[in-house]
Amino acid sequence: MASNETLPDQLKDMHRRFTALAKALPGPMGAFRSLMMEASKPGALPAATKELVAVALAVHQGCADCILFHVSNAKAHGAGRQELVEVLAVALEMGGGPSAVYASRALEAFDTLP
């Protein structure tokens, strides 16, 4: 998170860009939003666990905005820091050095975001 913006500001900016894209592409983005809502709702796995899986995938993909988004959602669903740390260990196992860079961003986001 290399910009001078705070992490909460970066998250707000990501939401602003996402909203602008949704206005430009209401059909595809509406479908994508429905997919996100369906995939993250509680089922056999709690929503917090699903969001932690999304964090691990975002770390592996190297998507800084995705990390912010899903860390924020995981916290909102009650995920704890130790749960995140354990998920990040799996991301490191699967992604090596590049995942370590983004895993550190995920931990920083968890420790910084409300």
Q: Are the beta carbons of 11 and 113 closer than 8 angstroms?
A: yes
Does the pLDDT value for residue 75 go beyond 50? yes
Closest CA to 77 of 31, 24, 41: 41
Does the pLDDT value for residue 112 go beyond 50? yes
pLDDT tens-digit profile of 46-69? Answer: 999 999 999 999 999 999 999 999
Radius of gyration of the chain (CA): 14
> Who's near 48: CB < 8 A, 6+ residues apart?
74, 77, 78, 79, 83
Where residue 3 falls among pLDDT bands split at 50, 70, 90?
low
Rounded CA gap, 57 and 9, in Å?
23
Provide the whole-model pTM: 0.92
Give the fold, CATH level 3, of 7-112. Answer: AhpD-like (1.20.1290)
Structural domain boundaries of the chain? 7-112
